[in-house]
Structures are given as structure tokens and as C-alpha cells.
Structure 1
Amino acid sequence: MSTMDPIQVFRVEAAELLEQIETGLLDLLHDLRDKAQIDAVFRGLHTLKGSGAMFGFDALAAFTHHCETAFDRVRKGEVEATSQLVSAVLDARDHMQALIDQPDGNHGETGEQLLAKLNMAVGGTSSATPEAAVPSQAAEENQHSAGKKGYRLVFRLPVNSMANGTNPIGLLNELRELGDCEITADTSFLPPLNQLNARDLHIGWVVDLTTSQPRQAIDDVFIFVMDDMELEIVEVEAPETAAPDVQEPATASGTPAGTGTPAKAGEAAKAAENVRVPAERLDELMDRVGELVIAQSRLSQLADRSVDIPLRSVSEDIERLSKELRDTMMMLRMVPIGQLFGRFRRLVHDLSRETGKVIDLVTEGETTEVDKTVIERLGDPLVHLVRNSIDHGLQSPAERRALGKPEAGKVTLSARQAGGEVIITVKDDGRGINREKVRAKAEASGLVQPGELLADQELLQLIFHPGFSTAAKITNLSGRGVGMDVVKKSVEALRGIIDIVSENGVGSTISLRIPLTLAIIDGLLVRVGTGRYVIPLSSVEECLELSLEEDFRSRGRSFISLRDSLVPFIRLRELFSTRTEPELHQKVVVVSTGAERVGLVVDQIIGDHQTVIKSMSKLHHAVASFSGATILGDGNVALIMDVGHLVSLGQQEEARLRAAG
């Protein structure tokens, strides 16, 4: 079995650290005296520097050291945290990412400029030379020449420490930086040579340290390994003259003597709470579960035709277990959408600086869980929507004051689950969509004929047409008419739909309705003519019977009365051109997307069906009525209906009939 590339593991962990650093910096902007956030940013920079050095990213470690030093000075109260410092470290964070992605690239000039900016932010006391990564020990000794204390440290790390990315040499080097120390290795735990695993760590250490630093500085060295290691720190009398830094071989007599018993901060066999799994392995497992669901469906069909009671019993057990496995697999793939929303704090911060607008980003429903594939594909569409809201929607502070609005414009990102869908909303309190401008642009582009009647939603949906833009000039943010087109294509690829609500002078709300998962769904299997089709069960409201007489009476208007409301319906037999006679008792399946409903007339409702979604071939991408296909238990293919598209067809028919009436 192949193992993950250590460099790739570092890059994954570094990405998480950079995200934590960015989040801490943005949180710090709300309260520049928040010590918890200052400490969090410092710890992130400290860990990134150490890990980078361990994996050979020396330029990253050298550059990150300066940011760490700046926040260390803030942490110690030597300088104050300022918005200029936060801005400088945010820019430095992007440079750190570049040093990780392209460690062999030429980043020197950029690094020097960023360090100069960092130097200015902390009052000109930080070095602007990347190579000066570690302050000299002599300087430290001159700075802390008085008030020294002595400590004896006895510690051992877990056996698997190095495999998990912990560098014991780095810990020892950090202890050296605190003052004078004598380090002795303890090899008493080494196993016989024929049992030795080169990847395991069996050495312990005894460190006699003389330092003027507080005890907290020693604890900080072990802050990230404290839970799993054995550590004893005893204060001893400091010698008048510190011993030179030497490394002596330990005797095999056992653990060196010390006062007290070494205290374990955590059990060595402590189980990990989280396991990192590559995304492609989850995808592969999902494919296997899908194949299992198809095989189970075949088994159920065979069992239904058999009179063998044990076979039926086994079939029912397999059906139950496969459903439970499917649900568990779905839960593994679900991730909170908050990790997607978190990316936009930095975007809004940068756009605020670029546009001069005061922007307040509000996020709601961050704990809503969505399939990881949906999260991956929603990033770009949401970026375009947020940028569009800021550029087109929000007014400048002066305009907002003149209108009696708060100076800070508000952009709200929210998510909530509704049945089998997640509804993601981007809302702003800006100027709203100017319908006259949209109409004029559409007529000038030939999309709409002068005088043509359009429903309000149809008019608003024109902003998603390729090349459509009402911007007076092209800016770095918008104006080329490509952003909203990307949004529409991406959402449709996810089998989702877009709703728009806008009021002049009040603001706009754009809602994306996306299926929770793109892999396996519960479906309603129906027959239309001789073909079988699947309707996503999460969209089904109810099923009604449509007799031949009612079908005949509704010709020309295609409406059914449902609890004092008229619901348009579509005869799928005609839409699919089955060329078959209608059944004596047809059925109407009422489906909905949000507040919009439509009835789908089918010949027979077969029953529920666990549906493994297979992508349509490129030859069938233009067939808008279907979002995918699935394999039935008998090996035949059933197409999965695109409910959003069918509801849209029904609403268009309703609008046409109302206009004609």
C-alpha cells in the first residue's frame, strides 16, 4: 500500500495553518487588543516556520520568522497591534503560499518589499533581510543578562512523533535559543538492533537550562506536542556561570535522576479524534457504494420473483445494510459550508481596500452541511456573486449617507437546508437591480424584442446571459459580462437553480438552490409510455390521479385545482414524444422548487428507488429535461428528471396562458 508523499502532507497542513492565520488576522481587525487572537496568529506562524524548516522549505521558514517575531513583540507588549500590521501580515501570508507552491521560484524582491512593509508596521525595528532567520544567541544573552533561573527538563516524545511531523531537533534548538543549556540524550529505551524501526523515536532527553526567560517561554516550546509527551520541568539553582552547550552521550543506566515523577500530559496510546483521508479515496469508496446499491437492486428484483423465503430474507438484510452504508457514506462526504464562507472574509477585506467602500460581511448557517463536491464547485460562483454585490450593489459611503443608510454596506452570506436541497443566499442592502437598464441592455443586445412582455423573474434572469453587463465601465471587479454567466453554468452543472429578488434602493437577494449530494439520491421511479424515469424524491410533494375525463377537460389550459390553487402540469408523454396511448388512470406527480410547483403527468408510479447518479454523455448535454441517468436492477437505464427545468417549463406555460387570457 502506497503512503502519501511527506511534502504533500506538509502542503496540506500548511494550507490549514495559513487559513487559521488568515482567520485570526481578520478576527483581530475587530479588536486589535484581543490577546487570544494575537496568540493564535503567533502560534500559527511559529508552527508554519518550524514545519517549513523541517521539510526543507528554508525560504519559507526564513520569511515566516519575521512575521512570527513581529507578533511575538506584540504578544510581549513591546509594540501594539495595528491595522497596518494586520494588512502587512495578510500580504505576507500570500507570499508564504507562493513560497510553498513554488519553493524554487524567484520571490526575493517581493519578499524584501513585504518585509519592508512589515518593518514599517512595527516601527522600523524588524529586519528586512530574509536570510536573518534566527536572532544570534549573543544578542539574546546581552539583552537578558540578569535575572536568570535554572531548570532541568526531562522529556520523551511518542514513538511515532517523527512520522507525524514532529521534529525533536527543532525543539532542542528552540530550547537553545532561550539561554545556556546542556543537552544529554537518554538511549535507555532503544530496542535491540534487530527490532529497531528507523522511523520510530526511542530517544529521550535531559536538558539543564539557564535562562532569563519566564517559565511560560519553556512551555511554549512544547505547546503543540504537550498532549502526547512525557515532560518534567523542575526549577533548580542557576549556576553562576552557565555551562557550555554540549551534547554528551547518555549512559545506558536508565532515565537520569530527577526530582519527582515524570508527568504524562496525555496517554501514549491516546486515540486520534480525526483521521485525514485523501478526497480521491472518498470518491472511490463512493463509487463502490454506488455499485453495491445497483447490485442490491438486482438482488431485490430476483428475490421478488422467487418463492424462496431465505433468499427474500437475505435480500431484505442486504437492502437494509446497503442503505445504512449509503447513509454513512453520505455523512462522511458532508462538510460544513462554513469552511467555504470563511474564504470570503479575506475577499471582502481586500475589496473594501480596493473600492474604498465600508463593507460588513455577515455569515449565517455556517454549520449547514453539504456534499464536499458541491463545496468544491460553489467557490467560483459565490466569488462572482459577492464581487458583483460589492461593485454593482453597494453604494459608496457618501452615497449611503446621502440616502440615510448606514455608512457600512452589508453583504450577507447564508445557508440553510430545505428537504434535499441547500439554499445559499447572497444578499446586499445596496441599490438593487435597475430593471430599466437591464431591459435597455437586453434590447440593444437583441435578447428581447422592444415591447415584448416579460415576467419580472425572466427579466432579472437576463443578467446571467453570456456577455451581459450593465456596468458603465470595465473595472478590476466587473464589467466584462462573464462573471454571472459562470455562476449560471456552474449552478446548472450542480443541477441547481437561481432565484433573484431585488428592490430598487433596498438591495438584492440571489438564492442558489443546490442538491445536498451529487452521488446517490432517493428517487421515485415512474413510467411514461414504455420508458422508465426517476424523479428526485426530495422534490416530490404529492401524487394525484388524473382520469381520462379530467385529462380531456384540461386540454388547452393544462391546470389542475389543488386545494383552492391552480397548479400547471406537463404531459410528459407529449414532452417525450412517446407516441403511445395514455393509460386509463394517469397519475400526476406534483413537484416543487421553493414556492414554484408543477404537476408531471405519468402513466404509472412504480415506487421508490435508491438512485445512483451517473453523468450524461457529452452528446446529451443539450437535453435539458434530464440531469443524469441511473442503472436499474434489470440492467436497463433510467433517465433522472431535472425538476428545476421542468418547473421552469411549467411556469412559462402558466405565464403564457395567463397573458393569453
Structure 2
Amino acid sequence: MNISDPTETFRQEARELLDLLEAGLLDLEQDPGNGDLINSAFRALHTIKGSGAMFGFTAVAEFVHEFETAFDRVRKGQSEATKALIGVALDAKDHIHRLIENPDRRITGGDVILSQLRQVVEGTPVEPVAPSPVAERTPAQKVDTTRLWRLTFFLPSDALVYGTNPLLLLDELAQIGPITVTALTDRIPDLDILDPEVPQIGWQVDIEADDPTSAIDDVFLFLRDSMELSLVPLERAPAAAIDLEEHTQLAAAPRAQEPAAVPVPPRAKAQEKAETDKPAASSLRVPAERLDELMDRVGELVIAQARLSQIAALSSDTALKTIAEELERLSSGLRDTTMGIRMVPIGSLFGRFRRLVHDLSGELGKPIDFITTGEETELDKTMIERLADPLVHLIRNSVDHGLETAERRAAAGKPAKGQVRLSAVYSGAEVAISVSDDGAGLDAARIRAKAEENRLITPETKLTDGELHQLIFAPGFSTAKEVTSLSGRGVGMDVVKRTIDGLRGTIEVSTRPGEGTTMTLRLPLTLAIIDGMLVRVGTGRYTIPLAAVEECVELPEGLEGQAKGRNFLDIRGSLVPYLRLREVFGITAPRELHQKVVIVSSGEGRVGLVVDQIIGNNQTVIKQLSKLHSDIKSFSGATILGDGSVALILDTAHLVASGQSYVDRNLNGRAA
């Protein structure tokens, strides 16, 4: 991406303005009489119009001008900001986005949206139009058909992950009429960067049929919102037929003899927004790749500085010690500054889901109150980018499976409007992100029955509630009675699990029948550099994330013969389970006479880790373990020490969970 390209600069600014416009419209739906929200939306439109005309986006400027003219009646109090108006305005916002991202494509449908917008502000009833890429034609609209049509399509990037088979789609197209199929391979990347889960091949299909638009609409029913699709008559059609295409959502190609030149849509990335609260503040846009490269360089500097400090500690040269201390101070400051640049408020991610819930509410007919808290919580930008898909799946599951219909809620004595809450809070060395609803809760019996049907467990298998709830994340697991456009294939929760595992996080499930369900994602603050406590167990050295450490105590004598490997410590009146890392790691070297216990926490749980020696604190550059070691749950990564040796980084969340499971088993044993 060339950041100095003026058109790209306009696109970036327009994306931010469109995000503000969408947020303002959604707020306006809840507070229709708020003049500040109306003026804010109007200012965003006016800025996009002026900038679009300046940078040559004529189609954008013309469409926004008409949008602005209609919306001006709301600003002047001549029309109310009704739910119907907000719905059409959101469609108009989406159309502006398409015009900006694809200035060379023929984007249709704008005239229909503007016509609906004028009718709404003038108080004329508007028939809702289904969000179909192919508009249905009434008998009055029938025109002379063309016998030969060219269909060009590229599937969404997640189509294969969700089980879409392109060959089956081609078979369905063949049922419309005789077809000639050509594979479009010009987008296939080099082998070293090819992602096998992303469809790289497009398809050009020549169809002989009398107006196949409705049939094509049925074929791509569940894919049309996010795929590239164009339909072009190859034989010249009457003028009326060509004009009619203006009212469809299929983009016609510039020339009938060539496939539509459709650019690959850019991948959705979390946009780092500059602070605008302070008028005097200025910002500089920097490509994310440069930040990643800077972080790598800082990591190497931290490793080199640690090596220098170790050499200086063994030397009697005062000047060398002084330089090492100064370099340590500078590298620490540079590390904190670089980390701060990478940290992004999670509110930039939360804002996307308001539109998602708004659309799901209308599609499913469930009134929903969507609440977000903790938007100011900061997380590494890499985490923000990779959290979008898991949160989409969790929110859709809450809305589709969790919340009941208004009738069922009324019968259960609940308010007709359901509630979905998205929150983020700091929790020690982690950030806890929760998606909760006040729906019916998880049905344990149904989950178990489905798990037995899928042979994930046997009828004799004994599971705790927590273990049973974790089964919903198994690949292909779904309790849905039928497959819909939202759910039912058992893919979504599997995606959530794999993504969170890849981020070294954990998922907790809490549910109460009839009251709702809460899914909590616990994630480390960063994936790059952390402060660590270096400890020794036997002859090996290990790093514990310092932010997870609460305190260090000495292991009392006389406990060696009790409850092999696990026991409890009395920490100021509170019982804390402890794990002997020597036994966890299978170390046979002689133990130290005076062992230490490092108390660590994760979420609400605590556990003591018994080590032979606490060496000290250091800056830890996290290196990911290879896939060969992915099954080793006690470690979250590795780091290079100053002497060039490797120290494994302990996964405190996993160790705390192990200690807590011991507590549960101990208490259950006593109860029995």
C-alpha cells in the first residue's frame, strides 16, 4: 500500500467517516430526536461529498449529494428519524462504501436506494426490498430476453471453511441451461504464500437461458452478500433490458465480450484510529507492516541488551557496566513506546458489531438491546485483527441460539427485548472479553445427546458441567435442528476455539438454564514482549509472566511427604493449591533444600508453583513454539536468554486451571 497515494488517503479517511456515520445512525435509531446525532451524520456526509469531488470520485459525490439532500429534511425537522429511515440510510452507507472501494466498477442499485430514501422522508410507505444481489422482476418489467449470458463469480474468502463446494454450485447452474465453464486462475498466488483454505479460483460461466437472474439468485442464496458476482448479456439486448439492469444488484461488466474486471476486495483489518479529542494533536499514518518490523527489531535489541548485561555482570570494567545499564534503560523505554504504538482500544473492534446485531435483530424478528462496556481496554493490534471472526460467531450464536423469541420470553416472564452484552476488562496479565445474553442458556442434556450421537463421548463417560460445555467447540458440533444462513453446520464455534488457542488464550463457558449464557475469552495483553520472572527447576530455566505473579513465599518444611505433587498452602487465611513443577516436568535431579513458591493468578483462580530458585526479572521476547509442540499445554512459548540459551515460558492460565481442577476433585471427594 502506497500511503502517499492521495486516493488511498481519501479511502482511509472515508472509511473512518463511514464508521462514524454508521455508529451515529444506530445511535439515532435509539434516540430519534437527538439533534447532535443528526448533525454529526450530516457533517460526515458533507465531508465525504467534498473530499470525493476533490479526489475524482464523481459517482460518490453525486450519490452523497442526493443522500444529503434527502437527509437534510430530517435535520430541518421536516421528517422524523424513523426505523425505516435508518434502515435505508444504512443501505445508502453501504452503497457509498462500495463506490469508494471499487471506483472502476459499475455499482448498481443507487437509484433504488435514493428513491426509497426520498419516499421515507416524505412519509410515503416503502415496500421492503430483500437484500438480494438479483432484483426480482415483476411481469410488468419483463423485456425481451437474451439467450446467452456470461456469469463471473469469485467466492468469499471463508467459503471453503464453511463447507461451500464450488463444483456443487456449478452443477446447480447447469440445471438452469446449457453452460460452458472456464476457470479463472489469474488470482492464484505463489505457492509459498498460498492459503489452501481460501478459494483462489474464480469461475466464468456462459449460460444459455431466458433471463437466468432469479435462478442464479437461488443458487447463491447464502453467499451473495460477501462474494463478487457479475452477470452480462453476451448478445446485445434491447435498451430497456440494459436500463433495467440499473435496478439489480448484479454489476454489469464494461464490455460484453470480456469477463468483468473485478478487483479483489481488501481484507478487513482493524483500523488504528488517531485520537481526535485534542484539537492540537496530530497523527501520522503508518502501514501496519512497518510496526511489525519495528517490533521485531526491538525484540532483537532486547535480546542483545540482555546478553550485554550478562557480560557486564561478569566483568570488573566500570565503564562497561555503566554502558550496559544505560542501554538497558534506553531499550526498556523503546520497548514500552513501541508496545504502546501497537496497543489499540478494543472499542475499535466493538463498534463493528452494533450493525451486526441491528441486522440480525431485523432478520430474526427478535428485539435486542446490545450493550458494550470496556471499550477503552487496550489490546495488541494483532489480537484485535484476529478477534473479529470469533466474536462474530459468538454474537451470532447468542442472538440465534441463546435469545428466545419475544413470545417465548413473555411466556417465561422476561422482557420482550433480549439483551446481548459485550464487555472487556483487564484481569491480571490478561484481558477478559465476554459475550453474554439473557436467553434460555445451554441445554446440557441436548449437548450430551449430540456428543454421544457424534461419538465424541460414550454414554458411560462422566463429565463435569465445564467439560460438557467445552464440547460445543468440537469440529462439526451443532445442536441446531436445521441448517440456516446463520448457523447449523457446526463450524462457527470450532473457528472460535482454534483462533483463541492460536492466540494462547482460553475460553470459559458459564450458563444458567433460563437465565442466559456467558462466553469469556481470556487473552494475553500482547504477543510480543513481556516482563518475566526467570526461575530454575532442576537444571532448567523457565520464565513466568511477571504480570501474573502475585507474590513469592518459601515452601514450609515437612510438606514433601504429603499428597504427592499437589497440596494446599495457607496464604494469610486463604487456601491456595500448589504444583511441584519438578514433578509436573518429570525432573529427577536432586531438589534444593529451600524451595520457593511463586503464587500466580489467572482470572479468579490462583495456584502456587514450586521452583528450586528464583533467578530474577528480565524482559522476555516471546517466540512461538512449533506445531510439533502444540500439544504441550504447560508452555505458551519460549525466549532467548542473554547467554543464548532458551527458556520456556510457562502458560499460567493452564497451570492455574490444573490447580483449580485439583481443588474441585478434592472438594468433590470430601463431599462423597
Task: Tell me how far 1:360 sits from its aligned partner.
Answer: 0.4
Task: Tell me how far 1:120 sits from its aligned partner.
Answer: 2.6
Task: Tell me how far 1:96 sits from its aligned partner.
Answer: 1.8
Residue of structure 2 equivalent to 1:67: 67
In structure 2, relative to structure 1, the CA distance for the partners of 1:80 and 1:273 (3 Å cut) is: same
Residue of structure 2 equivalent to 1:120: 119
Which runs of structure 2 are paired with 1:548-563 in the superposition (5 Å)? 549-555=558-564, 558-563=567-572
In the alignment, residue 390 of structure 1 is paired with which amino acid?
V
2:371 is aligned with 1:371: no
Which runs of structure 2 are paired with 1:183-582 in the superposition (5 Å)? 272-546=281-555, 549-555=558-564, 558-582=567-591
Residue of structure 2 equivalent to 1:622: 631
- Whether the 8 Å CA contact 2:370–2:420 is kept in 1: the answer is yes
Tell me the distance in 1 between the aligned counterparts of 2:450 and 2:543. Answer: 40
- Whether the 8 Å CA contact 1:428–1:508 is kept in 2: the answer is yes
In the alignment, residue 549 of structure 2 is paired with which amino acid?
V
In structure 2, relative to structure 1, the CA distance for the partners of 1:3 and 1:446 (3 Å cut) is: closer
- Whether the 8 Å CA contact 1:571–1:600 is kept in 2: the answer is yes
In the alignment, residue 88 of structure 1 is paired with which amino acid?
V
Residue of structure 2 equivalent to 1:49: 49
Residue of structure 1 equivalent to 2:40: 40
Per the alignment, in what secondary structure is the counterpart of residue 282 of structure 2? coil
In structure 2, relative to structure 1, the CA distance for the partners of 1:586 and 1:446 (3 Å cut) is: farther
Task: Tell me how far 1:53 sits from its aligned partner.
Answer: 2.6
Root mean square deviation, CA, Å = 2.5
2:592 is aligned with 1:598: no
Residue of structure 2 equivalent to 1:242: none
Q: What is the CA deviation profile of residues 17-64 of structure 1, one whole-angstrom value per residue up to 9, with x for unaligned ones?
A: 110110111111122232222221122112212222332322222322
Tell me the distance in 2 between the aligned counterparts of 1:526 and 1:557. Answer: 19
- Whether the 8 Å CA contact 2:390–2:495 is kept in 1: the answer is yes
Q: Which runs of 4+ in 1 moved over 4 A?
A: 556-566, 653-661
Per the alignment, in what secondary structure is the counterpart of residue 459 of structure 2? coil
- Whether the 8 Å CA contact 1:567–1:598 is kept in 2: the answer is yes
In structure 2, relative to structure 1, the CA distance for the partners of 1:2 and 1:452 (3 Å cut) is: closer
- Whether the 8 Å CA contact 2:71–2:121 is kept in 1: the answer is no
* Identity across matched positions, percent: 60
Tell me the distance in 2 between the aligned counterparts of 1:86 and 1:384. Answer: 25
2:87 is aligned with 1:83: no
In the alignment, residue 295 of structure 1 is paired with which amino acid?
A
In the alignment, residue 571 of structure 1 is paired with which amino acid?
R
Tell me the distance in 2 between the aligned counterparts of 1:3 and 1:428. Answer: 42
Tell me the distance in 1 between the aligned counterparts of 2:655 and 2:352. Answer: 34
Tell me the distance in 1 between the aligned counterparts of 2:284 and 2:648. Answer: 37
- Whether the 8 Å CA contact 2:565–2:580 is kept in 1: the answer is no
In the alignment, residue 537 of structure 1 is paired with which amino acid?
L
Tell me the distance in 2 between the aligned counterparts of 1:519 and 1:655. Answer: 34
In the alignment, residue 33 of structure 1 is paired with which amino acid?
G
Q: 5+ residue gaps in structure 2? A: 125-278
In structure 2, relative to structure 1, the CA distance for the partners of 1:85 and 1:14 (3 Å cut) is: same
Tell me the distance in 2 between the aligned counterparts of 1:564 and 1:515. Answer: 29
- Whether the 8 Å CA contact 1:423–1:514 is kept in 2: the answer is yes
In structure 2, relative to structure 1, the CA distance for the partners of 1:596 and 1:77 (3 Å cut) is: closer
Residue of structure 2 equivalent to 1:262: none
Tell me the distance in 2 between the aligned counterparts of 1:324 and 1:660. Answer: 51
- Whether the 8 Å CA contact 1:420–1:516 is kept in 2: the answer is yes
Q: What is the CA deviation profile of residues 141-187 of structure 1, one whole-angstrom value per residue up to 9, with x for unaligned ones?
A: xxxxxxxxxxxxxxxxxxxxxxxxxxxxxxxxxxxxxxxxxxxxxxx
Task: Tell me how far 1:103 sits from its aligned partner.
Answer: 2.2
Task: Tell me how far 1:655 sits from its aligned partner.
Answer: 4.4
2:6 is aligned with 1:6: yes
Per the alignment, in what secondary structure is the counterpart of residue 30 of structure 2? coil
Task: Tell me how far 1:558 sits from its aligned partner.
Answer: 4.4
TM-score (norm. length: structure 2):
0.72
In structure 2, relative to structure 1, the CA distance for the partners of 1:3 and 1:433 (3 Å cut) is: closer
Residue of structure 2 equivalent to 1:101: 101
- Whether the 8 Å CA contact 1:547–1:584 is kept in 2: the answer is no
Per the alignment, in what secondary structure is the counterpart of residue 67 of structure 2? helix
Residue of structure 1 equivalent to 2:212: none
In the alignment, residue 342 of structure 2 is paired with which amino acid?
R
- Whether the 8 Å CA contact 1:41–1:71 is kept in 2: the answer is no
Tell me the distance in 2 between the aligned counterparts of 1:2 and 1:52. Answer: 19
Q: For 1:648, which of 657, 665, 669 is the aligned residue? A: 657
- Whether the 8 Å CA contact 1:557–1:657 is kept in 2: the answer is no
- Whether the 8 Å CA contact 2:345–2:377 is kept in 1: the answer is yes
In structure 2, relative to structure 1, the CA distance for the partners of 1:586 and 1:315 (3 Å cut) is: same
- Whether the 8 Å CA contact 1:611–1:630 is kept in 2: the answer is yes
Task: Tell me how far 1:578 sits from its aligned partner.
Answer: 3.8
Per the alignment, in what secondary structure is the counterpart of residue 29 of structure 1? helix
Tell me the distance in 2 between the aligned counterparts of 1:570 and 1:31. Answer: 55
Tell me the distance in 2 between the aligned counterparts of 1:570 and 1:47. Answer: 61
Task: Tell me how far 1:408 sits from its aligned partner.
Answer: 0.8
Tell me the distance in 1 between the aligned counterparts of 2:526 and 2:23. Answer: 28
Residue of structure 1 equivalent to 2:154: none
Per the alignment, in what secondary structure is the counterpart of residue 585 of structure 1? coil
Q: What is the CA deviation profile of residues 400-455 of structure 1, one whole-angstrom value per residue up to 9, with x for unaligned ones?
A: 11222111111111111122222211121111111111222222222223243222
Q: 5+ residue gaps in structure 1? A: 126-269
Tell me the distance in 2 between the aligned counterparts of 1:116 and 1:453. Answer: 61
Task: Tell me how far 1:654 sits from its aligned partner.
Answer: 4.5
Task: Tell me how far 1:285 sits from its aligned partner.
Answer: 2.1
In the alignment, residue 625 of structure 2 is paired with which amino acid?
M
> Is 77-86 or 336-345 further displaced after alignment?
77-86
Task: Tell me how far 1:522 sits from its aligned partner.
Answer: 0.8
Q: What is the CA deviation profile of residues 516-555 of structure 1, one whole-angstrom value per residue up to 9, with x for unaligned ones?
A: 2221111111122322211111112233334785223332
- Whether the 8 Å CA contact 2:29–2:81 is kept in 1: the answer is no
Tell me the distance in 2 between the aligned counterparts of 1:300 and 1:498. Answer: 39
Which protein has the larger Cα radius of gyration, Structure 1 or Structure 2?
1
- Whether the 8 Å CA contact 1:548–1:586 is kept in 2: the answer is no
Tell me the distance in 2 between the aligned counterparts of 1:420 and 1:115. Answer: 50
- Whether the 8 Å CA contact 2:383–2:503 is kept in 1: the answer is yes
Q: What is the CA deviation profile of residues 246-287 of structure 1, one whole-angstrom value per residue up to 9, with x for unaligned ones?
A: xxxxxxxxxxxxxxxxxxxxxxxx965333332222222222
Residue of structure 2 equivalent to 1:25: 25
In structure 2, relative to structure 1, the CA distance for the partners of 1:2 and 1:449 (3 Å cut) is: closer
- Whether the 8 Å CA contact 2:438–2:515 is kept in 1: the answer is yes
Q: What is the CA deviation profile of residues 321-362 of structure 1, one whole-angstrom value per residue up to 9, with x for unaligned ones?
A: 222222222222222222211111111110110010110011
- Whether the 8 Å CA contact 1:442–1:448 is kept in 2: the answer is yes
Task: Tell me how far 1:301 sits from its aligned partner.
Answer: 0.6
Tell me the distance in 1 between the aligned counterparts of 2:375 and 2:353. Answer: 12
Per the alignment, in what secondary structure is the counterpart of residue 120 of structure 1? helix
Task: Tell me how far 1:564 sits from its aligned partner.
Answer: 4.8
